[in-house]
Each structure stands twice: as structure tokens, then as C-alpha cells.
Structure 1
Amino acid sequence: MFRTMASLPSGRVAKWVVLALWVALLVPALMLAGKLGDVQKNDSSAWLPANAESTKVVERSEKFQRSDTMPAIVIYDRPEGITPADMAKARADADAFADSENVAGRPQGPVKSQDGKAIQTVVQVQKDKTGWNGISEVVTALTDIGEKNADGLGFHVTGPAGHASDSVEAFGGGGSLTAITALVVVVILLLTYRSPTLPLVPLLTAGVALSASEAVIYLLAKNAGLTVNSQTSFILTVLVFGAATDYALLLTSRYREELRLHEDRHEAMAQALRRCSPAIIASAATVAVSLTLLMLATLRSTQGLGPACAIGIVVGLLAMITLMPALLVIFGRWIFWPVKPAYAAPQAATEGIWTRVGTAISGRPRTVWIGTAVILGAMAVAVVGLKADGLSSKDQFTDKPQMAVGQEIQARHFPAGSGDPIYVVTTADAAQRVSAALADIPGIADVSPPVIKGGDALLAGELEDAPSSSAALDTVEQARTAVHDIEAAHAQVGGNAAITLDTRDAATRDSKVIIPIVLLVVFLILMLLLRAVVAPLLLMATVVLSFAAALGVSSLVFNHVFHFAGADASFPLLSFVFLVALGVDYNIFLVTRVREITEQHGTRRGALEGLSATGGVITSAGLVLAGTFAAMASLPLLFAAELGFTVAFGVLLDTLIVRSVLVTALTLDLGRWMWWPGKLFARHDDTPTTPAAEPDLEPALDGR
């Protein structure tokens, strides 16, 4: 059945049917994909689990205050001192702010700082009416008002609305990210294929897969409650382009080989699909299943990212084993111009770099794998320096946007948390006791009088520190401890600082729960695929070691080269899932080929010829995936830069060292024990031989 299905895209009539189906699908897909931004939830409060304390505070406080607004903190400053004219301008601006579209109520202030060098006004933006992109438009309107006739008076918009606005501008680089990702793919494919025409086919197919993926994700977000945000969108882009192009490389490599063995290109494609589809499907399934396990997260942003990326992998796979084969067969051999693979053309025997690497390893495999493991272990030690306990809002950008500058000025002249307090909901009877407990907590500058409605009370505590800072999070923890101990108060602490704390705690919990489950599931998949126990255990061990080494090097680079303030709390989990899933991906490409050769010639020859046969194409695939993730650095977001660097470095490390050197050396050293307790273990290997140089039919960046 599988052989028949694999042949469908290469049929003389079926190829046109496949193309027509994808074209028919693409029209509505493009329309739906364009609406993905409409269903994104970029407000951090929407990412939290329903049982988070800050989530419950939002629900309980709805009768006291509007939940559809977000504060924009307007800061004016003049180093030599605020003048009466400056105060008059700030008051006039406040009137203009109140009349602006999508501003709720009368702004609070203006208030002059105690040192007389700054002014603060708090404006409430209607976030539910404006949407994520609309917040940026409101902030732009406020900025236009504030900068008009400023006469040397500094003006900045900070606070949650300012952060949202700068985030919108940062994520607005999504179009350029797609263009940069596509350019990276084209350059690497040009070097790999040495053809100006062939790269257009995988690039076009990956673009179709991305649009189709976004359409499916939009429908799920619209109708099934899937949580997606801007972060999901840019990760999806690089993942689909990178993974789909990897599958294209393997398929094209096999197709080129079969074109020299079959005069009919339709039969050549059918054979190529039959030979490479099992490995491609197994690899894609491993990645998709690993990503789907993120649904076990309590943090809804992570929970939604998993299935969204899994959809991208599955759609990319379907496109690459249906649409791309149909296109290649339709275009014919000329698509490989200027070096078209001719039927029965002799192929000169060459000894590629991976054949030479295998020969070098085969001399002392145990020494090689032990030495490689020690080096990787040493790299992993630096992971202890990774600071992944969250970032303050001003540290979430690689540059310094308006919000960050305004927050620094605010911290110099006002309590950094002014305008964005913590909120405590309690019973009316306990309001005074809760107020007194809050007032005694270091880090809380002031407590507002309680507002009482229907037996409940709402209090606001002004923070001395910026709401997203570690000091403010410590204050929230102290506040929770204090009010939870008050008898019959039923007090709960919320607000933006509490949301940040709950997000961090949820991300930490998710890492502890999901990482072991991903390891177990991937191990079981490898057992089923390889029909062995030892090989899957060793492959998992090498991938985990590779991940730890990549994270250790990343920690050193982040701390001592780029001097980043830290990392997002979800960074370790996402890095792990991507690197482990993709690392196993490449190991599947290698080991399935090794197993295929081992069945005929024994493990030693299987290891050496498997490396020689797959080395070039896997190296090219690794370069593509690393390049696409590295393109994330084009966004001025610290999370994107860090995740892009770690995954890119980890993929290269896995492709060039772990897969080619460590796994090959282990296979040579263990021999048939790699396949214990399967059927291959029962057979005796051939006497050790070094395979003769043979035609290397894989297009590769292999130094030839």
C-alpha cells in the first residue's frame, strides 16, 4: 500500500492532479493565513493557566475596574529642572490624551517628581478595542502629541502599553524575517545543488507549506481555542522553511541518483520516494510528536506553540512528498541545469570528505568517541551560568526602544513601579488588615485606600521597583506570603508583576514535566524504528549531550560576548524540544541508512558507508536549518536572538560532530551490540574492512 501511495505524485496523470489540488488549496489558504494576526493573543495575561493566582485576581477584580485597559506611562524630563511652562504643556497634553481615540477616561496626572526634574502621566489604553496592533497606534498618537512643541522637554511612553507598542514594531519585522529566511535557503541550495533553477522548487514548496500551515493554525485558533501569538508566527516561519527544505534535500538527492538508473523520470521519482520516504516520515513524525507534547504545558503560549509548530512540520512533510515530487517530474531533467543527470551516465568514483572522516575514525573508534564525549561534556559545564529566570521588560529587546529609555528615566525620578501597581483582592472585613500587611512589606512604596463592593475589597500597592524586575517579583512573593496568612481574608495578589511571576513559575514547572516525557517518547519511537534497545539509548544520550553542550556554549556567549541580561523562563524548554527533536531527526537519516547497509554487509561496513552516503546531504540539511534559525537574529528581540543562536549552533554541532564523529565511532566500537536485542544483533559482522571509494551520489558541501 505504501509503495502505491509513494508512486502517486510521480504518475503521468497523477502529477497534474496533485498540482491541481495544491493550487486549489492555496487560494483559500492565502486568504486565511493573512488573518492569523487577528487571532493572536499577545497580552501575557492571556498565556497563564486558569488556576494561576494572577488570573483569578483578574476575574475577581472585574467588578472594581475595567479589565480591557492597559496603562501607558508618559514620562517628561528636563535634566536642569521642570519649568512652569513644562507643567502647563503636560496638563494640556493630558487634555489632548483624553480626547484621543481609544483612550479610556481621564489620565492620572501630570505629577512632578520630588527632585523636580520629571513629570509623569498615566493614560489608560483600551486594549480590547484596539487589539495588539492598535495599541501601537495609540502610543504613536500619544507620542505625536507629547513631542509637539516640546522645546527641549524629553518625552517617552513606557509602561505595559509602551512595551506592547515596541513589541509590535519588533514583531513587525516578520515580513523581513521571511525574506531573510528564504534568502538563506536559496544561497545554501545554490551552493549545494550548483544549479540556479533547482532551488526554486523546494523554496516554492516551502512557501506553499507555510501558507497552508498558517491557514490551519488560524482555523484552530479561531474555532478551537488554540493560543497563538507573534512568537508562534516567527518560530513557525523558520521551522517550516528549515525542516521542509531538509526533507527536500533528501528527496532530491535520491531522485538525482535514480535518474541515472532509470530512463523514465516518472519511474525514477517513484523509486526515490519509496527509498527515502520512510526515513523522512519517521523523522518528521518524531519532530511533530515532540512538539505536540508541549500541549502538556500549563503556560498557554507554550501550550499553543507546540501543536502550531507540529502542524507546520506535518504540512511541510506533505508538501515535500507530494507537491515537490510532482513539480520535479513536471519540469523534467532540465531543472538540474547546467549539470543534468543523464540516464546510464558513468559517475566518477570520488572519495568525499565523509569517507575520509569515517576511515580516520575506524582506526581507533573508542578513543574517538570517548574524547569527543569529554569535550562535549566540558562544553556542557558552562550551562550552570545560564540565567533563565525571566527578563525585565526593558531587557527583552536587543536595542533600546522608547519604552526602555522611558523606564530608565522613570526609575531615576519616580518609584519605578508607579502607574503599574500590584492589586490585591480580599474580603471587605479583612481589607484593613491586608492593607496594613502590605504597607509593612519592603518594596511597596504606598498602598491605596481599599475600594469595597459586594463584600469584596480591592487594594493597589505601588511598587518601588519596575514591575518586571526581579526585585518586584520578590516583593510579589512576600506580599502573597503576608496576605495568605491573614485569617479569613481569602486574599489574592495580581497585577502585571504578579503575571510575570506566575509566567516564570509556570515555565519552570513545564520544563520539569515535559522534558522527561519528550525523552521517553522519542526513545520509544526510535525503538520501534530501529527494532533495538541499545542504539536508541545511545542516540538519545548523544542528543542530550549535544543539547547540554550547545546550552553551555550559549550561556558563555550570552554572558561574556553579547552581555545579555538573561533569558526568558521558557527558553530552556523550547531549546530542548527543538534541539532534541531535530538532533534525533538527523540521527534517523544516518542510522536508518546504516541499518539498511548492515543487513547486507555487517555493522562496520554499514557505519562507514552510511556516513559516506549520507554525510553530504545531512551536512547540507544542517546548514539550511541552522541558517534559518540564525535568521531569527534579524528581529530586535532578545528571545529570538537567543533561541536562534542556540538552535543554530546546536544543529551545526549535532550535524558536524555528534552525528558524524560520535555516533559513527560508537557504532564502530560496539559493532553488532548496537542492534541488541534485534535480529541484526544475532548475525556476525563481516571482517573489518574499509569500503572502497565509490560514487558519491549525494549533492553536498563536502569539500570536493
Structure 2
Amino acid sequence: MELFDGGTKRRLPHLVGPKLSWIVVLLAVIFSGVALSAPITADESQNGVANVPADAESRQAADLRDEMGGSEVVPAIVVLDREGQALTESDRTAVEALAKTLQEYSVGGAPVFQQLAEDGQAALIGVPLSSSASNDELVTIVEKMRAQLADEVPEGMRAQVTGGPAFTVDLAGVFDGADTRLLFATAGVVAFLLLLTYRSPWLWLVPLAVVGVADQVAITVVAVGTKFLPFTTDGASVGITSVLVFGAGTNYALLLIARYREELRRHENRYDAMKVAVDRAAPAILASSGTVVLALLCLGFAESPSSRNIGLGGALGIITAVVYALLVLPAAMTVPGRALFWPFVPRAGQDVPERAGFWWRVAEGVTKRPVLVGAVALAALAVLMIPLTGLKSGLSQTEQFRATPESVTGQETLGEHFAAGSSQPTIVVTSTDKAPAVLAAAEDVEGVQSARPGTEADGRTVIEVVISAAPATDEAFAVIEDLRSATSEVDSGALVGGTDAEALDADRSADRDRWLIIPLVLLVVLAVLLALLRSLVAAVLLVLTVVATYAAAMGAAWLVFTNVFDFPALDLTVPLLAFLFLVALGVDYNIFLATRAKEEAEQSPGDVSRGPISLALAVTGGVITSAGVLLAAVFAVLGVLPLIVLTQIGVIVGIGVLLDTLVVRTVLVPAMVTLLGRWFWWPGHLSRKPAGDEAQPQKETVAP
């Protein structure tokens, strides 16, 4: 497969022409309008179990409890304290009055319970809410409770609502209006960078409009996909898909417009210019997007539901972006004519300087001293990897937010005065005949504060266990593992579930997914590079460079997280998702550079290394750097949402894309090509090309 064929072969239908361009734009508007107005909503997943596989022990325990009818209610916990001072007798009376008042929120008349802390400094009130309540219903109830408590608690006393329902409400609040904020922030960043790139007052409007519409249509496409494919959506997956569509779609637009602008200097007829531009840019764009789609589809093998959501949803989003970039954008660009590029209007017959300017000087500097600049680049990447030695992963439920919502502060207060697991007890589902022995075994486990029998039905009993360790910590995980070991010795069919058990199962699932998905992604990228370049050496080296970039980006980002954001750890899903995005997206820039160098080497009389790679870097430098900076900025926009996982993905991918664009593609790869010479292309035909005097291509060359 040749990526650049001089426009001699047609790869896609040319949907441009004096009338055809208008028709395509009109049809695109109609189709987009129908898609945007379609009454289709995506199947959504529960955030609480988004990372837990369906066959995990904790999920099986939850499913059994559901069958028993033991999970019809879930408590919202009201924690009352005076911030370190003992509660007075009047405070205790007020707590009893509040408990009676809050009874109105209890589902089905289930009794509200209350408890005074042993230190006398806090009290809690448990309000049973329906476990089947929708997010909107929970938001209404919790907000009313918080408003009522603010009015009725005695002066100086603090009331905080926490527990499972409150965490659900606060997490939903993170994404309340998130789509709009993310859309405007992303569009603003893209508009600003496009304006800088093209220095035209209106050229940027066309790609921004096309990509923006593609982003919104992708939401509908993903919603339809959830009806037929094995995935759902959640707030995080929707945000990441939107960023992928905007980032990748704008990159494809930059490459196509760069080709179009160059062809306008060759052709009088703008439609002919666009046809050639599509022929030359489409193979590179399809190869690039195909790599990303295949890499995202690898997440379909993940155990973690959230990873599958991002993988399948992101793949549909990228496909949508490619369709709009290659079918709609060419027509939209040709409708206004050359004036769209004002004040730098390309005219037929203008020269295209290929050995002048900043990027030619960079190329000359790198290829003249490949050992020195290559060593410096490798040393820089190695230094950035050093912080990986202190990297930690795994965030508890209270550590998911950048801002600190009431559910988190309430949980912290609860942990100061009560057993940390009081708000969300661990459950053990066992056979009723063995329940007494299982209960005794659970009570004997170190770290268990209390255990009591709960719901009983269908020959099974649920035992509720309160552990003393803070939620989702290593100490809590150790207690869960000991509890599973102890109870299974009494009843081999006993299942341990609950919030801490789900977090432990999610941790194990994330570890398994990393060991499976990362090699799969590397094989996909390696296969694509082998198909494009016909060189084993080139493919392996380019894959190694993006892996090195990933490690360096993780190290640099960890420094940022610990010294700027003060994050305690990485979210469990971040290492895998960051790897996938960086490898799949980062290799694109190497694809554009290496395929252009291959094209130049094939047309060179004898030189297959320094001359072709210098020219390839010179003519691709501007557009690829613009694309890389834009993609990094778009991913950084994820930081507008106050959820740590999205901020971490945005920062890591942003740093990695910049390293790929400015260090690996600009310095390291050209240095390797120069040093290895024809061996870089082994065993392809370029490695056997007869050597000759270093010569430069004689034809006029344009950027991809």
C-alpha cells in the first residue's frame, strides 16, 4: 500500500464540483440535522460498578442480594458534629428530632436509624433510600435533605450527607452541564489554534464547523451503537469520545487543507486541486484513523466495563470524524473558493520552497549530527522516566474528585468518629445453614469492626460486615482478602461484595487488562507499520519510540500530579487508556514522516537516508507540529471537568503528544534513519537499492 502516489490513483470518490460540492454540503446538513434531532438516548452504566467485571465476585454477590430482595434500600448517611467538640445534651435531642424529620425521605416507611459515636463528638442518621431510584430522583432527594438540614441543625453544628446515594449525586454533579462546558472549551481551543495556524479571519470556521458537527453526530452514532454492541456509556466515556473526535478530526482537517493549499499552487481549477489533495491525503488519514480505531477496538477484550465503553464508543467516534473529514470537508472547502485563504491566497504557479525555512534548518542540524542529537533526545526521554519509580495507582471513592464535594468531607468526618465502613458495609452472601459459622469466621478476621446477619431468603443469608480501614485502601483490600479466605473455608460458595470488594476486583481487572490489551495494541500498531513501510526494522523502531514516549510522558505527568495537583495516585484505568491513546495517536506523526521519507527515498537516485528524511521533515514539519500542538491542547481541555481520571488522561496524553511531535518525530526518528541508512528499510526493497552519491529529489515536493 502506498500512502503518497502523486495523485495518480483515486482512493475515494471525488465529491467536489461546481454543483456537487453544494449538494454534498446540503445533504450533510440534512443528515446531521436528522441525527441531532433523533430521539435516541444511549444505554448508560452505573458509575459505581463501571470498572467491575460482570463475573467478579463482588458483582455476583450484589446480583444474589438483588435476587433476595436485600438491596431494595441503600442508606444516605447524615453525619453531624461540632468539628472536634463534644455534642451537648441539646445537640443529642436535636439529632433525635432530625431523625424523625428525615423519616419522610425513607423509602417504603423503612425506619431511619441513628447512632452516637463512642467519643461523643459526632452522630449519624441513616436514611434508607430506594436502590432502584434514578440519578435524577436521588439528586432531588439529597438536595432537599441538604437544604432542610442547613435550615434545621442547631447553630454551630455541621450536617453532611454522605454514603452511596450522596456519592452518586455528587458524581452526577460533576457531569451536570459537562457536555456543554467541554464542547465550548474544546471549540475555543481549536478555533484559537486554527486561527494561529492559518492566519485567516475565516478559514478556521470551515474545519471547526465540520468537526464540531461531527462531534455532535458522533454522540447519536454512539447512542445507536449501545443498542447493538456490547457497551454502554458514562460521563467519562462520553467526554473522552468527544475529545477524540475533536482532536483527531481537526488533525485530519489540517492534513487535508495543507495538501489542498499546496495543490492550489499547481492547479487553476480549485476542484481539480481538491481532487488531487484528497487522493494524496486520504491514504495517510485512513491509515492513521485505522490505527486508532483498531487500537480502540482492542479495548473490547477488556474485563473492565468502563474500558470497553471508551474503546467501542471512541472507535465509532473516530469513524464519524473520518467520514466528515474526507467526504464533507472537501466539499465545504471548495464552495467558498480561494478567497477562503485570504489574506494568504494560494495562486497557481507560485513556488513551493522545499529547502528553506525553519524546518529545513532543523532537518539539516539533526542529520548532520545524528549521534549527538539522537543521544540527547534519548537522554531527555530517560530522565523523564525516572519519576516512574515512585508512581502509585488506585484512587478511593473519596479521592475521585478534584474539588471536594460534601459526600467526601462527610465520609472523612465519618471515618474520624465511626468505623470507616459504617456508611457502606461489606456484605457476605452465604447459605443460611452455614450463616452462623460464616458470621463467627467474619468476626474473627482482623480489621473487622462488627458483623451481623441481614436479609434472609431462598436459603441464603446476607451478613453485613463493617471494617475499620478507610475505603479502597491497601488496608481495606487486605481485610477483604482475609475475609474471603476465612469465609470460603467455612462455606466454599460464600461471596464477599460491597464497595471495598468492588474496588479490589476493579484493581485486579485493571491489572489483567493492562497485561492483555497493551501487547494487543502494540501488535496492531506493528502490523499497520509493517503493511505501510514494508520494513521490519523501521516498524519495530517506530513502535519502540512511541513506547519510550509513553514512559517519559507518564514520568513527567507524575511529577506534575504530585507537585502541582497533589494527586495521591493514578486512577486504575489511566495507565492503560493513556498508553492506548499515546501509542495509537502518537504513531500517526511517525507514520506521516516515515511514509514521506520512504516516498522521497524511492525517487532518489541513490540516497535512502539523510536526503529523504531531511526533505520529509522539512515539508511535513509545519503541519504535523500544528496538528500535534492542537491535539495536545484538546486533550488538556479534559481538565475543565473536576474528575481526577479525566484530568490525568488529559495531562499524560497532552505531554506525550508534544514529546512525540517535538522530540521523537523531529529529532529521534530522523537521527535513527540517518545513522542506519538503508538498513532502516530492511528487508524492504529500499534496503537493497544500489548506493550512489547523495542526491536530492528533482521534483517539486509538497507537504502531506
TM value normalised by structure 1: 0.94
User: Is this contact kept in 1: 2:400–2:644, CA < 8 A?
Assistant: yes
The residue identity in structure 1 corresponding to 2:673 is: T
Q: Is it true that 1:643 corresponds to 2:661 in the alignment?
A: no
Q: 1:600 to 1:628 in 2, by over 3 A?
A: same
Deviation readout 1:78-123 (Å, 9 max, x if unpaired):
24332344334433433443323x8454353222212222121122
The 2-side partners of 1:119 and 1:572 are apart by 40
Q: 1:702 maps to what in 2? A: none
Query: Which of 172, 179, 198 is the matching residue for 2:203?
Result: 198
Deviation readout 1:304-356 (Å, 9 max, x if unpaired):
21011111111101100111111001111111122221222345677222211
Q: 1:105 to 1:505 in 2, by over 3 A?
A: farther
The 1-side partners of 2:685 and 2:111 are apart by 76
The 2-side partners of 1:148 and 1:12 are apart by 68
Q: 1:54 maps to what in 2? A: 58
Deviation readout 1:496-528 (Å, 9 max, x if unpaired):
111111111101100011101111121011101
Q: 1:186 to 1:695 in 2, by over 3 A?
A: farther
TM value normalised by structure 2: 0.94
Deviation at 1:139, TM superposition (A): 1.6
The 2-side partners of 1:33 and 1:260 are apart by 46
Map of 1:83-122 to 2, 5 A cutoff?
83-100=88-105, 103=107, 105-122=109-126
Q: 1:414 maps to what in 2? A: 418
Q: Is it true that 1:478 corresponds to 2:489 in the alignment?
A: no
Deviation at 1:695, TM superposition (A): 8.9
The 2-side partners of 1:273 and 1:7 are apart by 9
Q: 1:237 maps to what in 2? A: 242
Q: 1:5 to 1:672 in 2, by over 3 A?
A: closer
User: Is this contact kept in 2: 1:423–1:493, CA < 8 A?
Assistant: yes
Q: Is it true that 1:338 corresponds to 2:360 in the alignment?
A: no
The residue identity in structure 1 corresponding to 2:305 is: R
The 1-side partners of 2:187 and 2:417 are apart by 46
Query: Which of 352, 357, 362 is the matching residue for 2:367?
Result: 362
The 2-side partners of 1:502 and 1:83 are apart by 43
The 2-side partners of 1:368 and 1:46 are apart by 45
Q: 1:384 maps to what in 2? A: 389
The residue identity in structure 2 corresponding to 1:317 is: V
The 1-side partners of 2:420 and 2:197 are apart by 54
Q: Is it true that 1:448 corresponds to 2:457 in the alignment?
A: no
Deviation readout 1:152-189 (Å, 9 max, x if unpaired):
32111112222212211212233212111111111111
Q: 2:584 maps to what in 1? A: 581
Q: 2:685 maps to what in 1? A: 679
Q: Is it true that 1:554 corresponds to 2:557 in the alignment?
A: yes
Deviation readout 1:640-689 (Å, 9 max, x if unpaired):
11111100000001100011100011111111112111122221354336
Q: 1:17 to 1:71 in 2, by over 3 A?
A: farther
Gap runs ≥5 in structure 2: 1-6
Deviation readout 1:208-234 (Å, 9 max, x if unpaired):
111221111111223444221111011
Q: Single out whichever of 279-288 and 630-639 deviates more from structure 2.
A: 630-639
The 2-side partners of 1:128 and 1:438 are apart by 29
Q: 1:77 maps to what in 2? A: 81
Q: Is it true that 1:564 corresponds to 2:567 in the alignment?
A: yes
Deviation at 1:415, TM superposition (A): 1.1
Q: Is it true that 1:249 corresponds to 2:257 in the alignment?
A: no
Q: 2:28 maps to what in 1? A: 22
Map of 1:602-681 to 2, 5 A cutoff?
602-603=607-608, 604-681=610-687
The 2-side partners of 1:677 and 1:535 are apart by 10
Gap runs ≥5 in structure 1: 700-704
The 2-side partners of 1:105 and 1:369 are apart by 72
Deviation at 1:495, TM superposition (A): 0.9
Deviation at 1:255, TM superposition (A): 0.4
The count of residues paired between Structure 1 and Structure 2 equals 692
The residue identity in structure 2 corresponding to 1:422 is: T
User: Is this contact kept in 1: 2:76–2:128, CA < 8 A?
Assistant: yes
Deviation at 1:451, TM superposition (A): 4.3
| Corresponding residue SS for 1:228 | coil
The 2-side partners of 1:81 and 1:336 are apart by 72
Q: 2:231 maps to what in 1? A: 226
The 1-side partners of 2:108 and 2:388 are apart by 46
| Corresponding residue SS for 1:449 | strand
% identity of equivalent residues: 38
The residue identity in structure 1 corresponding to 2:484 is: R
| Corresponding residue SS for 1:120 | strand
The 2-side partners of 1:207 and 1:85 are apart by 59
| Corresponding residue SS for 2:425 | strand
Q: 1:468 to 1:14 in 2, by over 3 A?
A: same
Deviation at 1:148, TM superposition (A): 1.3
Deviation at 1:26, TM superposition (A): 1.1
User: Is this contact kept in 2: 1:672–1:684, CA < 8 A?
Assistant: no
Q: Is it true that 1:207 corresponds to 2:212 in the alignment?
A: yes
Q: Single out whichever of 363-372 and 301-310 deviates more from structure 2.
A: 363-372
Q: 1:75 to 1:386 in 2, by over 3 A?
A: same
| Corresponding residue SS for 1:569 | coil
Query: Which of 517, 522, 535 is the matching residue for 2:520?
Result: 517
The residue identity in structure 1 corresponding to 2:403 is: D
| Corresponding residue SS for 2:613 | helix
Q: 1:22 to 1:95 in 2, by over 3 A?
A: farther
Q: 2:265 maps to what in 1? A: 260
Deviation at 1:22, TM superposition (A): 1.6
The 2-side partners of 1:68 and 1:647 are apart by 41
The 2-side partners of 1:347 and 1:681 are apart by 30
The residue identity in structure 1 corresponding to 2:656 is: G
Q: 2:4 maps to what in 1? A: none
The residue identity in structure 2 corresponding to 1:377 is: A
Deviation at 1:146, TM superposition (A): 1.2
Q: 1:2 to 1:566 in 2, by over 3 A?
A: farther
Q: 1:157 maps to what in 2? A: 161
User: Is this contact kept in 2: 1:94–1:107, CA < 8 A?
Assistant: no
| Corresponding residue SS for 2:75 | strand
The 2-side partners of 1:685 and 1:17 are apart by 52
Q: 2:16 maps to what in 1? A: 10
The 1-side partners of 2:361 and 2:385 are apart by 28
Q: 1:41 to 1:552 in 2, by over 3 A?
A: same
The 2-side partners of 1:630 and 1:46 are apart by 23
| Corresponding residue SS for 2:423 | strand
The residue identity in structure 2 corresponding to 1:430 is: K
Query: Which of 298, 305, 314 is the matching residue for 2:303?
Result: 298
The 2-side partners of 1:104 and 1:588 are apart by 62
The 1-side partners of 2:455 and 2:72 are apart by 19
Q: 2:510 maps to what in 1? A: 507
Deviation at 1:48, TM superposition (A): 2.4
Q: 2:431 maps to what in 1? A: 427
The residue identity in structure 2 corresponding to 1:577 is: L
